[in-house]
Structure formats: C-alpha cells, structure tokens
Amino acid sequence: MSINADPAELDKFGELAHRWWDRNGEFRPLHEINPLRLEHIDRIASLNGKMVLDVGCGGGILAEAMAARGAQVTGIDLSEKPLKVAQLHLLESGIKVDYRSIAVEDLAAERPASFDVVTCMEMLEHVPDPASVVKACAMLLKPGGHAFFATLNRNPKSYLFAIIGAEYVLRLLPRGTHDYARFIKPSELSADCRRAGLDTVNLIGMTYNPLTRVYALGPDTDVNYILAARKPGP
Ligand code: SAH
C-alpha cells in the first residue's frame, strides 16, 4: 500500500524544523493560535487524564500543551526533523509525550479504538487523501471519543486571506506554504467524517485581525476553522 503523504510537503516542514519553537519565526502563527485551540479542545473533550493522539504533530506545540493539561499524549508525523525537534524540546520543557514516525493509517491498523481524543491540526491541507486520514482518525477513537480537525476553507476569501494575505502581504507564513487546491470546505470535511462514522458536533472559525494582530475563535469559518466530531458511543 502506498503511503498517503506528499514528500515535497514533508521536506518543506523538515527544512524549517529547527525554527519550530522560535515564537517569532515561521511557526509564529501556530504559537499564537495554540492557547485558543487548546481551550476549545479542553472545553469540548476535557483533556485531563485522557488518551490523546496528535496527528501531524510537527514540533509538538499542541501535543506538549495537551500533555501539560494532564493528557497522555502520543504525537505522530511523517517528517523526521520536526519529530526530532519535538523530542528534543521535551528535555527543555520536562513534559512527557510519546513521539512516533508512523502513518496514521498504519497506527489505526495497529491500535484501533485506543484514544479518547484525536487532534489533527493544520495538516489535512498538506496530504493527498484527507478522507483517508479522517477515516484512520475515526478508527483510532474509542466509542464516545472526540476528533478535532483544523484546516483551511476553500473559497475566494480564503484564497485572498490565507495565500495572498498571509504569504505575500503580511508575510505571516513562508511563500508556498499552502496550495489552494488542497483547501477543504467544512461541508466536505463533515461528509468525510460522516462516511467514517463520526458525527460533527461543533464547527468554529479562527480569524486573524491584521490591525490588532490578534487571533480569535468565532462564527466566521470562511478561512480557518476547527471541526469537532464524535464517535457514537457512551
Ligand atoms: N499539527 C501541528 C503542525 C502543523 S504543520 C500544529 O498545528 O501545531 C503540518 C504538519 O503536518 C507538519 O509537521 C508535517 O510534517 C505534517 N504532515 C504533512 N503531511 C503528513 C502526513 N501525510 N502524515 C503525517 N504528517 C504529515
């Protein structure tokens, strides 16, 4: 079976990996949105004491924060350098996360129904077959567990904001970070969830105000959004 990953995408993250924890570097947006998404996940799925999987964890910004909330976190990615950076950062933070280089589809075959919470943030728009990732995440969840997917919507506004605005005008992200054709509408993601046996339970937008430089969660899902889904069960 061929692996559901784009080597060029994995290399892109590998090249920048040493800058992952630089709050003023290329990954600054991830650092800035982290407290917002962490609160959101914790509110819906209450992380303390839960078994959590972070898919496409990169350098571990979210994985560490969830572990600090008392979750037992596994982080997986297919880019080696970000995983090394994530592993090294544990020495600095003193936090415990189990990092592994494995495809989510392979982990689903190995450990089905093992996690209370699966997060997959800013990753689906970098993979060839996002529906396959959603399906694997669903398999990895215990009944009653929650999955959180964050990605970019696909419409003229998201093209303008996420590519022209973020990569060219405001330079929040390196040019070429995102490919518009891979953006995913919430309706498409929700349909992928339904086909994987998950019920969509929450949809929230993530916005950036370039004047105040403040990120916020709210009803505007036009550009960035987080979809929460639940596997039926107790
Ligand atoms: N989820 C993290 C990092 C987002 S950056 C966060 O939000 O803080 C996107 C990450 O997805 C990178 O680390 C990249 O290596 C990873 N990625 C891309 N394609 C992948 C794939 N097919 N399988 C696993 N990880 C992948």
SS3 content of the chain, % helix, strand, coil (to 5): 45, 25, 30
Measured in residues, the chain has a length of 234
Supply the pLDDT for residue 126: 97
Cα-to-centroid distance, 62 and ligand 1 (Å): 12
Residue ranges, the chain, pLDDT below 50 = none
CA 3 → CA 7, 104, 110, 177, distances in Å?
Answer: 10, 10, 15, 21
Confidence (pLDDT) at 52? 99
Say what the pLDDT of residue 1 is: 54
14 Cα nearest atom in ligand 1: 15
Domain locations along the chain: 7-230
Q: What is the pLDDT of residues 29-53, one digit of tens each?
A: 999 999 999 999 999 999 999 999 9
pLDDT at residue 2, as a whole number:
76
Query: Which CATH class, in words, describes the domain spanning 7-230?
Result: alpha beta
Mutate to test the pocket of ligand 1, among 4, 13, 15 (most ligand atoms within 8 A of CB): 13
Decide if 178 contacts 153 (C-beta within 8 A): no
Measuring from atom 22 of ligand 1, which residue has the nearest CA?
5
